Every structure is written in C-alpha cells, then in structure tokens.
C-alpha cells in the first residue's frame, strides 16, 4: 500500500504545530489552497508544508515514510547571515549566534500569522504567496 500526504507547519508555543492530510499527488497549487483553510491554536496559520509518501508491504503492520519533498515556505523574507548582521539590531544577537553556530547561510522569516524565522536549506522553496483574508467566527 502506498499513499501521499502533505504536512502543514504553523508556529507553535515551543515547537511547530503540524496538520497532516492525505493528498492525491504532490501538487503545490492544491496544497497551497489547503493551507488557506488551516488555523491552529492561537490563530496560527501555516508558514509552509512538505509532501511525503508512506508505504507498507502486505506483511507489515505499520507504514513508513519512503519519500519526502523539499520544504515549501508560504512566502517569507530571505536573508543571509551578512544581511542580518548589517541590520545592527541588538534583537538579532541570538539569531546571529544560531546562524553562526549551526552554519546557516540563509534564513527565511515568515509573518503569515506569528513571526517565524527558520533556516533555509538549499533545496527549500519560497513560494510567492498572498495570505488570504480569513473568516472570523
């Protein structure tokens, strides 16, 4: 058995909130539309998503991830370590330290809901994304 999924990541209190859905194929447009409908605790909405495949054989009880896509950021501002340093903002001291210690060449800051700054890997994709107007309850 083989099935495709998409996992959406939203800012959380200590770690990211995740919501997974089965999806017919690794279609970025479909996943982006799905992200528009997700709202986690405290009004957090997705900053990105990843596709993955789960498979299991007939004689296996549990499935396992067999494939995974690059991470797709739903918009965001990309900055290099030098650009962060050039801002000369004392609030960036921890970010600069993390970038240097972990050898992060670039980060992406997303403000779709709560501000989130994460390392940008070479195969990650930053999509042109417009945050939809959300319905209020």
Element of type H or E holding 72: strand 72-74
- Model-wide pTM > 0.75: yes
**pLDDT of 42 higher than 50:** yes
The residue ranges of every structural domain in the chain are 2-127
**Average pLDDT score over residue span 37-58:** 93
Q: 29 Cβ partners below 8 Å, 6+ apart?
A: none
In this prediction, residue 72 carries a pLDDT of 98
The two three-digit tokens of residue 20, written as one number: 């997974």
In this prediction, residue 132 carries a pLDDT of 85
Is the backbone of residue 36 left (phi > 0), alpha (psi -120 to 50) or beta?
A: alpha
C-alpha distances out from residue 38 to 19, 50, 68, Å? 8, 15, 21
**pLDDT of 18 higher than 70:** yes
In this prediction, residue 137 carries a pLDDT of 42
Residues 53-80: pLDDT tens digits?
Answer: 999 988 888 889 999 999 999 999 999 9
In this prediction, residue 134 carries a pLDDT of 67
- Pick 70 or 1 by higher pLDDT: 70
The two counts, helices (H) then strands (E), for the chain are: 3, 9
Residues 76-135: pLDDT tens digits?
Answer: 999 999 999 999 999 999 999 999 999 999 999 999 989 999 999 999 999 999 888 765
């Amino acid at each position: 058995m083989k099935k495709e999924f998409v996992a959406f990541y939203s800012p959380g209190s200590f770690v990211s909130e995740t919501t997974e859905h089965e999806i017919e194929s690794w279609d970025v447009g479909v996943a982006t539309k799905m992200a528009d409908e997700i709202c986690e605790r405290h009004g957090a909405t997705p900053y990105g998503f990843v596709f993955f495949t789960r498979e299991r054989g007939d004689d296996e009880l549990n499935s396992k991830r067999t494939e995974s896509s690059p991470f797709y950021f739903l918009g965001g501002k990309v900055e290099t370590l030098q650009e962060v340093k050039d801002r000369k903002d004392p609030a960036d001291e921890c970010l600069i330290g993390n970038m240097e210690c972990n050898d992060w060449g670039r980060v992406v800051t997303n403000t779709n809901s709560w501000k989130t700054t994460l390392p940008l890997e070479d195969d990650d994709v930053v999509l042109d994304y417009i945050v939809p107007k959300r319905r209020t309850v």
